[in-house]
Chain A
């Protein structure tokens, strides 16, 4: 029996469970695509001028609803947005018409140098204005809504005066962008900075969320002997993250959920077990709500 297709989410991604597509899993998954409801790829991995890489992306986009996830737009950067990068994004988006495009509340470039990382922004009013204008510019240029993801951070910046959740809420309110709630990032940042997750979620507009990310993290000890959580994407999704998924689903209803895994990539079968676990978690809450 063919399983019923999951309903479509507000931004076009289905209200099911997807995975971040790894190259090593591509062929097996394309041969048997049903176990995942959608896939996500990093935009910067497909900015080729032509050839087999773009052909692969076309096949992916023809098989599943696609989420394009950018990691380099530097929306939180002090510099103007890189127009060449925006143009590459637009070409990619125009080519495959993804169900969703998302980026990060972070910066990654300064003075022409690219740091290949999502660096923390100051939650102050000047930065807020800048991010709002960058999100406006990106949405205008790309001709579509983008989803903005909450970051994982290891340090807080000296000039921050806003609460992170309210900072994101204000950007969404002013720009009309959607939000991508990364529960692993929320868990990591809350732990690293001593924030209360309940308080964070209470200030966050769950109604603007169009996608949820789940991932694994690593626990280390910093030089002062304090435990520090690292956003490694190198491990299975842990129990506290599933608890958060259950909480958020109970509060905000079903949303498209993505499992991210970028390091220590396991066999596909293991990732698909995580997809099932996330599905079971959402379904249990949804059935409890319906009862």
Chain B
């Protein structure tokens, strides 16, 4: 019964014997609602993609996506997790291979806004900072890292800043997305290989002092410490839970 109606909403060609009488084509109201509300949800999460492909094309893209990927959750902020992979495979956009990574950045921003809280490092003085270097660290729950073969940060930013992309060097970029603690501020910025290595090390629960031990020279070590302190004070890195806290939720 509901299977009929569900099928008829996803497939305009399907008949729907569950309906008493549809001479007025009233089922189309439900079909349109479905497509419009999902398109609106996607527009909210992926504004740069809409600017990049244009409003009209975005509507068609949203429709194609919604027909193949109905939401699996009632939380619309999570809708679109499959859009980057869909864009990778979407033949009409095959000349724009960077779109999927822009979509990954946009999806990560929304997830960062809704992510759990996490207590950051105490960095009030030099002694506290030195202690932080020796503590196993973790990424804040809002953190995403997107490693792209394209200048994805520049492309994303240009959609809102009117930056001239012609000046951009067409190089690979790795982008960090995170929320500043409990604030509304979600940041997106490119990171270099050193920061990426540091974040990967932290994601595995490593402490900075272990990384410093393998540093080839002092200059390298000093820059690692600077990067660590910046990431820690920005709330990207936080102390990993001590072992006795595990399972205590």
Contact = CB atoms under 8 A, between A and B. Distances in A.
Q: Do A and B bind each other?
A: yes
Interface of A: 44, 47-53, 55, 71-72, 77-78, 82, 85, 107-117, 119-120, 122, 154-160, 192, 222-224, 226, 228, 230
Interface string B37-58: 1100100000000000000000
Contact of B74 (A49, A109, A154): A109
Contact of A44 (B24, B76, B116): B76
B13 interface: no
A154 B26 contact: yes
Contact of B115 (A49, A108, A109, A226): A49
Contact of B21 (A71, A77, A112, A156): A156
A155 B38 contact: no
Contacts, number: 127
B74 A108 contact: yes
Nearest to B10: A113
Contacts of A119: 2, 5, 9, 30
B26 A155 contact: yes
B150 interface: no
Contacts of B182: 50-52, 55
A179 B120 CA distance: 46
B127 interface: no
Nearest to B9: A115
B143 to A, nearest CB: 13
Contacts of B30: 117, 119, 154-155
B39 to A, nearest CB: 11
B34 A50 contact: no
B74 A114 contact: yes
14 contacts: A50-B117, A50-B141, A53-B113, A78-B3, A85-B74, A109-B74, A113-B6, A119-B5, A154-B26, A155-B19, A155-B22, A155-B30, A159-B18, A223-B24
B182 to A, nearest CB: 6
Given A48-B77, A117-B37, 4 more contacts: A52-B182, A107-B2, A117-B30, A157-B19
Interface string B170-192: 00000000010011100000000
Given A51-B179, A155-B22, A113 B70 contact: yes
B34 to A, nearest CB: 6
A29 B64 CA distance: 39
A217 to B, nearest CB: 12
A110 B3 contact: yes
A82 B73 CA distance: 10
Contacts of B21: 155-156
Nearest to A220: B29
Given A113-B71, A117-B34, A158-B19, A49 B141 contact: yes
A106 to B, nearest CB: 11
B37 A116 contact: yes
Nearest to A122: B1
A116 B71 contact: yes
Contact of B18 (A85, A158, A223): A158
Contacts of A115: 6, 9, 34, 70-71
Contacts of B184: 52
A77 B33 CA distance: 19
B4 to A, nearest CB: 10
A49 B38 contact: no
Contacts of A192: 26
Contacts of B28: 223
Contacts of B20: 155-158, 160
Given A44-B76, A50-B117, A85-B74, A116 B29 contact: no
Contacts of B183: 52
A49 B73 CA distance: 15
A228 B29 contact: yes
B17 interface: yes
A78 B4 CA distance: 12
B108 interface: no
Nearest to A110: B6
B114 A226 contact: no
Interface in B187-240: none
Contacts of A160: 20
A244 B114 CA distance: 40
Contact of B17 (A52, A78, A158, A224): A158
B1 A44 contact: no
B169 interface: no
